[in-house]
Amino acid sequence: MKTAIIAIWLVTTLGLLAGGKKDDRLVVQFNLQGADSDGPKMSVPQEVAGRRVFFRLSPEISTVDIESFRPFPADDGITYGMMFKLNRVGARRLSAITNANLGKLLMARVNGRALDVIKIDKAINDGLIVVWQGITTREIGLADSMMPRIGQTAKEWKAQRKK
Protein backbone atom coordinates (compact mmCIF):
# COMPACT_ATOMS: atom_id res chain seq x y z
CA MET A 1 0.00 0.00 0.00
CA LYS A 2 2.77 2.45 0.98
CA THR A 3 4.68 1.56 -2.19
CA ALA A 4 1.65 2.32 -4.38
CA ILE A 5 1.09 5.68 -2.67
CA ILE A 6 4.75 6.63 -3.01
CA ALA A 7 4.73 5.61 -6.69
CA ILE A 8 1.64 7.74 -7.40
CA TRP A 9 3.13 10.66 -5.48
CA LEU A 10 6.42 10.40 -7.46
CA VAL A 11 4.66 10.28 -10.83
CA THR A 12 2.46 13.26 -9.93
CA THR A 13 5.34 15.32 -8.53
CA LEU A 14 7.66 14.61 -11.44
CA GLY A 15 4.87 15.45 -13.88
CA LEU A 16 4.33 18.81 -12.18
CA LEU A 17 8.03 19.58 -12.12
CA ALA A 18 8.42 18.72 -15.80
CA GLY A 19 5.50 20.95 -16.72
CA GLY A 20 4.99 19.08 -19.96
CA LYS A 21 5.59 22.19 -22.09
CA LYS A 22 9.38 22.34 -22.26
CA ASP A 23 9.74 20.60 -25.62
CA ASP A 24 6.75 22.03 -27.49
CA ARG A 25 8.37 25.29 -28.63
CA LEU A 26 10.94 26.10 -31.27
CA VAL A 27 13.79 28.21 -29.92
CA VAL A 28 15.93 29.90 -32.56
CA GLN A 29 18.97 32.02 -31.72
CA PHE A 30 21.69 33.73 -33.73
CA ASN A 31 24.79 34.49 -31.67
CA LEU A 32 27.51 36.87 -32.86
CA GLN A 33 31.18 36.02 -32.63
CA GLY A 34 32.71 37.30 -29.41
CA ALA A 35 36.23 37.23 -28.04
CA ASP A 36 38.20 35.13 -25.56
CA SER A 37 38.71 38.29 -23.52
CA ASP A 38 34.92 38.64 -23.01
CA GLY A 39 35.11 36.05 -20.23
CA PRO A 40 32.95 33.01 -19.49
CA LYS A 41 29.90 35.08 -18.44
CA MET A 42 29.75 36.80 -21.83
CA SER A 43 30.98 34.27 -24.40
CA VAL A 44 31.44 30.54 -24.92
CA PRO A 45 33.91 28.65 -27.14
CA GLN A 46 32.68 26.58 -30.07
CA GLU A 47 34.65 24.41 -32.49
CA VAL A 48 34.34 25.88 -36.01
CA ALA A 49 36.23 24.35 -38.94
CA GLY A 50 38.87 22.93 -36.61
CA ARG A 51 39.50 26.10 -34.63
CA ARG A 52 38.19 27.47 -31.36
CA VAL A 53 35.90 30.47 -31.82
CA PHE A 54 34.08 32.36 -29.07
CA PHE A 55 30.42 33.35 -29.47
CA ARG A 56 28.42 35.72 -27.31
CA LEU A 57 26.01 34.00 -24.94
CA SER A 58 23.28 36.57 -25.50
CA PRO A 59 21.68 36.13 -28.93
CA GLU A 60 21.46 39.05 -31.33
CA ILE A 61 18.37 37.59 -33.04
CA SER A 62 15.94 35.12 -31.46
CA THR A 63 12.53 33.51 -31.91
CA VAL A 64 10.66 36.66 -30.81
CA ASP A 65 12.14 38.48 -33.83
CA ILE A 66 10.77 35.94 -36.33
CA GLU A 67 7.58 36.67 -38.25
CA SER A 68 7.41 33.68 -40.60
CA PHE A 69 9.54 30.85 -42.04
CA ARG A 70 10.08 28.55 -45.02
CA PRO A 71 11.73 25.12 -44.73
CA PHE A 72 13.74 23.53 -47.55
CA PRO A 73 15.74 20.29 -47.98
CA ALA A 74 19.38 20.74 -46.90
CA ASP A 75 22.29 19.77 -49.13
CA ASP A 76 23.10 16.83 -46.83
CA GLY A 77 19.93 15.08 -48.08
CA ILE A 78 18.93 14.18 -44.51
CA THR A 79 17.97 17.35 -42.67
CA TYR A 80 16.32 20.61 -43.63
CA GLY A 81 17.29 24.24 -43.71
CA MET A 82 14.98 27.09 -42.82
CA MET A 83 14.65 30.67 -44.01
CA PHE A 84 13.30 33.09 -41.43
CA LYS A 85 11.60 36.39 -42.20
CA LEU A 86 12.16 38.78 -39.32
CA ASN A 87 9.69 41.31 -37.99
CA ARG A 88 10.44 45.02 -38.40
CA VAL A 89 12.45 45.29 -35.16
CA GLY A 90 14.45 42.11 -35.86
CA ALA A 91 15.15 43.19 -39.45
CA ARG A 92 16.52 46.55 -38.28
CA ARG A 93 18.67 44.82 -35.65
CA LEU A 94 20.01 42.32 -38.20
CA SER A 95 20.86 45.14 -40.60
CA ALA A 96 22.73 47.05 -37.89
CA ILE A 97 24.56 43.95 -36.67
CA THR A 98 25.68 42.85 -40.13
CA ASN A 99 26.72 46.38 -41.12
CA ALA A 100 28.86 46.76 -37.99
CA ASN A 101 30.39 43.25 -37.94
CA LEU A 102 31.56 42.46 -41.47
CA GLY A 103 33.99 39.53 -41.43
CA LYS A 104 32.72 38.12 -38.14
CA LEU A 105 30.79 34.87 -37.68
CA LEU A 106 27.16 34.36 -36.71
CA MET A 107 26.18 31.02 -35.17
CA ALA A 108 22.66 29.61 -35.59
CA ARG A 109 21.28 27.59 -32.67
CA VAL A 110 17.97 25.73 -32.77
CA ASN A 111 16.60 24.28 -29.52
CA GLY A 112 20.05 24.59 -27.96
CA ARG A 113 21.94 22.83 -30.77
CA ALA A 114 24.58 24.72 -32.72
CA LEU A 115 23.61 23.96 -36.32
CA ASP A 116 25.32 26.38 -38.61
CA VAL A 117 27.89 29.16 -38.67
CA ILE A 118 27.84 31.83 -41.35
CA LYS A 119 30.41 34.50 -42.12
CA ILE A 120 29.00 38.01 -42.38
CA ASP A 121 30.27 39.06 -45.79
CA LYS A 122 27.74 41.81 -46.48
CA ALA A 123 24.98 43.75 -44.77
CA ILE A 124 21.63 41.96 -44.65
CA ASN A 125 18.96 44.56 -45.26
CA ASP A 126 16.03 42.42 -46.43
CA GLY A 127 15.13 40.93 -43.03
CA LEU A 128 15.76 37.35 -44.16
CA ILE A 129 18.18 35.02 -42.36
CA VAL A 130 18.87 31.35 -43.09
CA VAL A 131 19.88 28.21 -41.21
CA TRP A 132 21.27 26.05 -44.01
CA GLN A 133 21.17 22.61 -42.35
CA GLY A 134 20.32 20.50 -39.31
CA ILE A 135 16.61 21.26 -38.91
CA THR A 136 14.44 18.20 -38.18
CA THR A 137 10.88 17.48 -39.32
CA ARG A 138 9.82 17.77 -35.68
CA GLU A 139 11.22 21.31 -35.54
CA ILE A 140 9.39 22.20 -38.75
CA GLY A 141 6.19 20.98 -37.07
CA LEU A 142 6.94 23.14 -34.02
CA ALA A 143 7.50 26.16 -36.25
CA ASP A 144 4.19 25.45 -38.05
CA SER A 145 2.39 25.59 -34.70
CA MET A 146 4.02 28.89 -33.75
CA MET A 147 4.09 31.01 -36.90
CA PRO A 148 2.94 31.13 -40.53
CA ARG A 149 5.10 30.14 -43.45
CA ILE A 150 6.46 32.92 -45.65
CA GLY A 151 3.67 34.00 -48.02
CA GLN A 152 0.89 32.39 -45.96
CA THR A 153 -1.90 34.69 -44.81
CA ALA A 154 -2.96 34.84 -41.18
CA LYS A 155 -6.31 33.28 -42.15
CA GLU A 156 -4.61 30.35 -43.94
CA TRP A 157 -2.27 29.80 -40.99
CA LYS A 158 -5.11 29.78 -38.46
CA ALA A 159 -7.05 27.29 -40.59
CA GLN A 160 -3.95 25.07 -40.78
CA ARG A 161 -3.50 25.16 -37.00
CA LYS A 162 -7.09 23.96 -36.45
CA LYS A 163 -6.40 20.73 -38.39
User: HSE-up of 79 (CA within 13 Å, CB side)?
Assistant: 13
> Domain spans of the chain?
22-151
Residue 40: which of 57, 58, 60 has the closest Cα? 57
- The yes-or-no verdict on residue 107 having pLDDT over 90 is yes
What sign does the dihedral 60-92-140-23 (CA atoms) show? positive
More confident site: 114 or 35: 114
Tell me the mean pLDDT in the region 132-154: 92
Q: Are 69 and 143 in contact (CB under 8 A)?
A: yes
pTM as predicted: 0.80
More confident site: 10 or 152: 152
Look at residue 75 and give its three-state secondary structure: coil
Look at residue 103 and give its three-state secondary structure: coil
CATH number of 22-151: 3.40.50.460, 3.30.565.10, 3.30.1360.200, 3.30.450.40? 3.30.1360.200
